[in-house]
Amino acid sequence: MLTKVRLKRGIRVIRPIFRVAIMLLMVGLLTLPAYATRIYGGYYTAARIANLRNNCNTYEWAKQQRTTVIARAKAWVAKSDDELWAIVPGQDLPRCIDVTFDRLTTGPKFLGCLNCGKKVLKYGTYPYEPDFINKPWKLSCPACGAIFPTNDFGKYYQSGINKAGVFDPAKADKKLLYNTTHPDPKDPLYKYGVDDGYGYIDKNGRSYRYIGYYTWKYWDNIRNGLSYLADAFLYTGDQQYAHKAAILLDRIADVYPTMDWKPYADRGWFHSDKGTGKGKIQGSIWENGTAQRFADDYDKIISGTVNDDALYAFLKKKSETYVLPTTKGNRDLFVKNIDDNILRCAFKAVVSGQIFGNEGMQQLTAAKCAVALNTNPETTQWLDWIFSPTGGAIPKTIINQFDHDGSTNEGAPNYSVFLGIEITNIASLLDDYPAYTKHNFFKEFPQLSATFTLAYRWAALGIAIPNIGDSGATGLVSMHEVNVQFMAKGFRYTNDPDIAIAAYRANKNSAAGLGRDIFSKDPDSLSRIIKQIAGKAGPRPIGGYLMSGFGLALLEDSNGASGIALANNYGRTIKHAHPDMLNFDIFAFGHWLTPDFGYPEFATDWPNNTEWSGSTLSHNTVFVDKHPQKEIWSGHTQLFKQLKGFGVFEIDGKKAYPEIKEYRRTMLLIGGNNDKNAYVVDIFHVEGGKDHVYSLHGPPGAVATTGLNLIVQPSGTYAGENIPKGALAKTDFPIGYSYLYNVKRDPHPPAQFILDWKANAGYRGLTAQDDVHLRMYALNQCNDVALADGDPPQNKAGNPENLGFVLMHRSGNELNSTFVSVIEPYEHSPFIKSVKRLDDGKGSDISIQVEKTDGSMDYVLYNSSSQKITRLKNGMNMTGTVGYINTLNGKPQRGVLVDGTSLNYGKMHLHQKKEITGKIIKMNKETSGGGWIWVDAKLPVDGTLNGQQIIVDTEYDRDAAYTIRSAARDGNLTKIYCGPICFVRGQKGNKYLYDFDEGAVFKIPLHAAWDK
Ligand SMILES: [Zn+2]
Ligand SMILES: [Zn+2]
């Protein structure tokens, strides 16, 4: 393989050598240079470019792309060579991304507009959009229309162009610095709004940096112009585009080494630099995008710069007019300038940290530069750097940050998928560059493959991703993170049929357009393969699943918008996640009905975030001993079963409150006779501590109560009558209490009561005709119960103004609480007639009777000490953890027993083994090769375990529950395959750390079902 690739590369290099040799012979020189300048970059090879241009002549869609690309380049290709050359500014044209933000000031950080003040802040983080053609060097305020700066900066700029052809403030004519509408020096407005590049300084000494902001956008404009020209050359092969792009690139290369953001950061100005003050044209984070685009555009046009004598003559002439850093005059010198002063310069900046963004970004920058350089040994060395533990250290990042779902140490979906996208971009780029053979990411790290389907798997019913942590918005129904082309790309690089099937389903059960590759000879071949594989697999199956890597337990009763789903998130509560261990949301009638707040007003140190939307109390979970949950990696699965019309999970979240004995939630989703009749049973067990508050909120809308005697608290908040809304929690009341207002309280609540939320018209598209409710039957004794309003983030489109909360409070010494409720989403009229708790209401042996309007009766039995028998007066009995019996006229219709040995009623008798237990004897300890476990127990190998969970006992942070894909006998052992995953959770020195250890005990809870 290696030789073959080298041969291929050899051929590629020979051609230019011959040309140069012939040329040199012709001019009478007999010695060859040590190397010959390459014709092509590493990505846009002759074959790729030829395929693209052929496709543009063959396919209508490709033709359309070409038309668009040509139209975009039109204004840029019309510019003269001189104009393009002069457009590139140097280091001394100041730049920043906010007009007034001041990192050093002790006063307000933002001032807004010089004319209308804070009004402009409503127009977003970056409110100004310059018009380069009609209003050069001006910014117009979108709020008041005022235009700044008031001076003719363009003229001033021109007066400052020095011998090197760049702006030098010391040389510029200061006499030009006046307000052009008030040109009389005696006029008090003569200097008003004048910006010399360092901002207009007001009477308080604060600067308004209109030119700085403009220059940021001005560079963006140049970068876009370069890309438009490069694309136009790529699509057409017309050298005029490459010629114009080359002028920009050569000029950028002249100034790029001197570009440094730091002097401006030192003035307190703002850019995307993580506060480090590092960067080049941009702050260190965004510079990645800039350097990547330069490298990519260079790669696109390099083959268009052969035999362009006019280009080299032009550049030579410029070097005679100005003092330029490099010699000009031929293609070798041009290529050397870009190689040295863009590619090598950017790579050096990556290594030094001057270019440094989120993990994965700078490594992609290094890869793009290396591939564009396409010159060994450097290209290989740079790509090696990506893998080096002291360099880009991507393997270390993957090992420490990824879980087996392809998500990372971030708990919010959008943040959690980001690293996978970045790293798979590097991985696919290397895959497309066969000259580099040292690593294959996809084979070495199977976690990466899971990244491609991650977002789709998050989607409840295949349509709605829960708004977990700093993601989405309150009750937003969206598939925002799902990108079908990203999924198709995953299939291209991994050949994993599961990815093809997921892509097809996510693309509305179609392969049309999936993985279309304009650089391929047969651009739609992938789509045809996907269709072949996925067409056979059919649409998304009904039923939820467990994502134990990310931490999402999903139960579903059917599929699509008419289905009902229950999503419990129990993964990371760190970083952009919230301290919301065991929080849940119910999706029904196309809406989230216990909606997570989603993205905060500002994902930063902002009181509404730190004390409310990012607190424990604002989530549907239990708040213990008046302090938020501890930030942890994950809860631990105890049970997970999804059968037809019945699902249950039990998750242990104790690590979030390590000082107490139990913090465990068991939830069931029980389907009825049709899709629209499914309800949730919630059993939340909290043992230890002195104060428990069960918090739940429904959809926005009025809350009706039955059974409560509510007394209105005349003022204040849940924190107290005298504590106003939004007061900051210090020591006198817990975090979150002051954000709950309009408090009504029953100080002596009954053991059972009913709440009913009616969702407001206008909530995420609900109309007045929709009549969607959420009803809660609370079935446990509390000290007091309060209702209150709480506001989700107010600056997000579509978020409700407020939501109704219920707070069930218990207090006492050595508290042992089991919060029990039945939650029924319904449309128009409820399908549940009554709910009763049949046990004594004290212990953890719980029996619930649910009477339905169709005359049938459900019984839900739960017994946490599953050795003890549960007996009901009607003769039902269970030895087990979870039982469900549906009856009609006193006769059993359906029964399910989970993790138990018997369930009996009338003629229904379920008997089985409770669970399979044993020890892990060995496991695959590598990152590649798949999730193989060998256990000492003789497991059934007839396929009955496939899809069930093997739950391994572990003391470590991650959930060690895995879905069994297959089981087979291996000598005295059983060999279990848990899919293309690995068990590595990190690395200490040279040793891997695992989710669990060999020798650990495991259980596979069993279940049995009975139908009439
Ligand atoms: Zn304004
Ligand atoms: Zn949240």
Tokens 């029990």 belong to residue = 820
Q: Is 829 a residue whose pLDDT tops 90?
A: yes
Q: Measure 202 CA to ligand 1 centroid, in angstroms.
A: 15
User: Phi/psi class of residue 472: alpha, beta or left (left: φ > 0; alpha: ψ in -120 to 50)?
Assistant: left
Q: Measure 99 CA to ligand 2 centroid, in angstroms.
A: 32
pLDDT, tens digit, 9 for 90 and up, residues 844-899? 799 999 999 999 999 999 998 867 899 999 999 999 999 999 999 999 999 999 99
Tokens 């001076």 belong to residue = 151
Q: Measure 116 CA to ligand 1 centroid, in angstroms.
A: 4
Neighbours of 780 (CB within 10 A): 21
φ and ψ at 959, to 5 degrees? -75, 120
User: Phi/psi class of residue 297: alpha, beta or left (left: φ > 0; alpha: ψ in -120 to 50)?
Assistant: alpha
pLDDT at position 672 is 61
Give the distance, in angstroms, between the CA of residue 203 and the centroid of all CA atoms in the same chain: 44
Show Cβ contacts of residue 639 under 8 Å, excluding neighbours closer than 6 positions: 648, 649, 650, 666, 881, 882, 898, 899, 949, 951, 1005
Helices (H), 706-852: none
Q: What is the mean pLDDT of residues 11-23?
A: 40
pLDDT at position 645 is 92
Burial class (CB in 10 A: 0-12, 13-18, 19+), 146: middle
Q: Measure 367 CA to ligand 1 centroid, in angstroms.
A: 43
- Smallest-distance ligand from the CA of 148: 1
Find the farthest-apart pair of alpha carbons in the chain and give their distance in angstroms, rounded.
Answer: 109
Per-residue confidence band for 675, with pLDDT thresholds at 50, 70 and 90: low
Q: What is the mean pLDDT of residues 468-496?
A: 96
Per-residue confidence band for 19, with pLDDT thresholds at 50, 70 and 90: very low
Return the DSSP state at 510: -
Give the residue among 10, 21, 16 at the shortest CA–CA distance from 40: 16
Strand partners, 820: 683
Q: Is 9 a residue whose pLDDT tops 80?
A: no
Q: Is 964 a residue whose pLDDT tops 70?
A: yes
Q: Measure 448 CA to ligand 2 centroid, in angstroms.
A: 26
Q: Is 587 a residue whose pLDDT tops 60?
A: yes
Q: Measure 580 CA to ligand 2 centroid, in angstroms.
A: 7
User: Are 378 and 394 a contacting pair, CB within 8 Å?
Assistant: no
Q: Measure 224 CA to ligand 1 centroid, in angstroms.
A: 28
Cα-based distances in Å from 440 to 286, 378, 395, 433, 856: 27, 19, 11, 11, 58
Q: Measure 141 CA to ligand 1 centroid, in angstroms.
A: 5
Q: Measure 670 CA to ligand 2 centroid, in angstroms.
A: 25
d(CA 389, CA 419) in angstroms, rounded, equals 18
Strand partners, 547: 552
Amino acid letter, residue 621: T
Q: Measure 187 CA to ligand 1 centroid, in angstroms.
A: 22
Strand partners, 384: none
Q: What percent of the chain has pLDDT over 90?
A: 89
User: Are 832 and 679 a contacting pair, CB within 8 Å?
Assistant: yes
Q: Measure 102 CA to ligand 1 centroid, in angstroms.
A: 19
d(CA 844, CA 648) in angstroms, rounded, equals 17
Q: Measure 127 CA to ligand 2 centroid, in angstroms.
A: 28
pLDDT at position 673 is 55
Q: What is the mean pLDDT of residues 276-299?
A: 98
User: Are 311 and 247 a contacting pair, CB within 8 Å?
Assistant: yes
Q: Is 561 a residue whose pLDDT tops 90?
A: no
d(CA 528, CA 506) in angstroms, rounded, equals 16
- Smallest-distance ligand from the CA of 142: 1
pLDDT at position 14 is 35
Burial class (CB in 10 A: 0-12, 13-18, 19+), 628: buried
- Smallest-distance ligand from the CA of 579: 2
- Smallest-distance ligand from the CA of 617: 2
pLDDT at position 40 is 96
Q: Measure 972 CA to ligand 1 centroid, in angstroms.
A: 78
pLDDT at position 442 is 87
Q: Measure 833 CA to ligand 2 centroid, in angstroms.
A: 33
Higher pLDDT, 125 or 727: 727
pLDDT at position 866 is 64
- Smallest-distance ligand from the CA of 613: 2
Q: What is the mean pLDDT of residues 932-946?
A: 95
pLDDT, tens digit, 9 for 90 and up, residues 613-641? 999 999 999 999 999 999 999 999 999 99
pLDDT, tens digit, 9 for 90 and up, residues 886-920? 999 999 999 999 999 999 999 999 999 999 999 99
User: Are 796 and 766 a contacting pair, CB within 8 Å?
Assistant: no
pLDDT at position 260 is 98
Helices (H), 804-884: none
Per the document, the length of the chain is 1012
C-alpha Rg value of the chain to the nearest Å = 33
Burial class (CB in 10 A: 0-12, 13-18, 19+), 470: buried
Q: Is 820 a residue whose pLDDT tops 90?
A: yes
d(CA 579, CA 632) in angstroms, rounded, equals 8
Give the residue among 560, 511, 515, 512 at the shortest CA–CA distance from 533: 511
d(CA 428, CA 440) in angstroms, rounded, equals 9
Q: Which two tokens stand for residue 443?
A: 């084979």
Strand partners, 975: 934, 968
d(CA 978, CA 963) in angstroms, rounded, equals 6
Q: Measure 223 CA to ligand 2 centroid, in angstroms.
A: 38
Is the pTM higher than 0.85? The answer reads yes
pLDDT at position 602 is 78
- Smallest-distance ligand from the CA of 193: 1
Q: Which two tokens stand for residue 577?
A: 């996640």
Question: What is the residue-averaged pLDDT of the chain?
Answer: 94
Q: Measure 221 CA to ligand 1 centroid, in angstroms.
A: 24
End-to-end CA distance of the chain: 62
Return the DSSP state at 177: -
- Smallest-distance ligand from the CA of 573: 2
pLDDT at position 732 is 87
Cα-based distances in Å from 926 to 317, 443, 452, 582, 677: 60, 11, 21, 31, 46
Return the DSSP state at 104: S
- Smallest-distance ligand from the CA of 596: 2
Return the DSSP state at 344: I
- Smallest-distance ligand from the CA of 584: 2
d(CA 621, CA 616) in angstroms, rounded, equals 7
Q: Which two tokens stand for residue 571?
A: 């993964």
Q: Measure 143 CA to ligand 1 centroid, in angstroms.
A: 5
pLDDT at position 23 is 45
Per-residue confidence band for 3, with pLDDT thresholds at 50, 70 and 90: very low
Name which of 167-171, 599-603, 788-792 the model is least confident about.
599-603
Q: What is the mean pLDDT of residues 207-232?
A: 98
d(CA 440, CA 443) in angstroms, rounded, equals 6
Q: Which two tokens stand for residue 1001?
A: 């005990």
Neighbours of 220 (CB within 10 A): 16
Q: Measure 511 CA to ligand 2 centroid, in angstroms.
A: 35
By DSSP bridging, strand 591-592 and strand 583-588 are antiparallel
Per-residue confidence band for 461, with pLDDT thresholds at 50, 70 and 90: very high
Q: What is the mean pLDDT of residues 772-786?
A: 98
pLDDT, tens digit, 9 for 90 and up, residues 354-399? 999 999 999 999 999 999 999 999 999 999 999 999 999 999 999 9
Amino acid letter, residue 957: D
Name which of 58-72, 255-269, 432-446, 745-759 the model is least confident about.
432-446
Show Cβ contacts of residue 411 under 8 Å, excluding neighbours closer than 6 positions: 468, 469, 551, 569, 571, 572, 573, 574, 575, 576, 577, 578
